[in-house]
Amino acid sequence: NMILVNETLSFLDDHTNSRPNDPFFAYVALGQVHFPHSPPKYYLDGTPVAGEYETEHLDLLLEMDKVIGSLVSAIEDKGIANETIIIFTSDNGGLKTKYSKNILRGYKSVIYEGGHRVPLVMRYDGVFPKNETRTNHFVGLNDLYTTIANIVGVKVPKRSALDSVSFAKYIQSEDNVQDLREYLATWAYNHDGEAIRKGDFKLV
């Protein structure tokens, strides 16, 4: 993960120095939650990591916090936070431990809420409202495609991203719910099972 940090920082340096007026896209896929859990002794800045918490998994989540902090700080230091959309999310629910799923039923790879409900944190200085949450409606990660296109003013090609529903207006205000998706379908890739949810009801 620290290799990813260094590579991403190098990419940002190169881009801002050689192509400062061009847009960039950086996809940083961290692997902290994946087995084997092998936390480093220290982070790049000397912060202890291994042995700081009850499990190695939790130690790696500490490292993840440090990684995200490093990348966000780099964007801020370069003065491009007001022209950069930062997205933090996950593609699966938590592991099968008491620390991951909390009140949600299930865990990664199963069809229940704990298997696929994930955090989604977005930041776009000067555009997105600060310190607000949206919890009364749901979106899918596939909706990011159309949402980002709408935000940056790019037209979605005809017959492209047919399963992507923009929630750009919902980001601006929790009252803008008229164009949100009405249902969300999910499936479990390691177990037989499909589900569709509408409102508070879910058919498995």
Asked if 156 and 146 touch (Cβ cutoff 8 Å), the reply is yes
Asked if 164 and 145 touch (Cβ cutoff 8 Å), the reply is yes
Mean pLDDT confidence for 29-47: 90
Q: Give the pLDDT confidence of 87-118 residue by residue, as tens digits.
A: 999 988 888 776 565 678 888 888 888 888 89
Q: Which band of pLDDT confidence, cut at 50, 70 and 90, is reported for residue 43? A: very high
Q: What does pLDDT average to over the chain?
A: 91
What is this structure's pTM? 0.91
Task: For 91-128, give the DSSP string.
Answer: SS---SSTTTSTTSS--TTSSSHHHH---EEEE-TTTS
- How far apart CA 153 and CA 66 sit, in angstroms, is 33
What local confidence, expressed as pLDDT, does residue 98 receive?
Answer: 62
- How far apart CA 123 and CA 160 sit, in angstroms, is 26
- How far apart CA 122 and CA 176 sit, in angstroms, is 17
Q: Which band of pLDDT confidence, cut at 50, 70 and 90, is reported for residue 8? A: very high
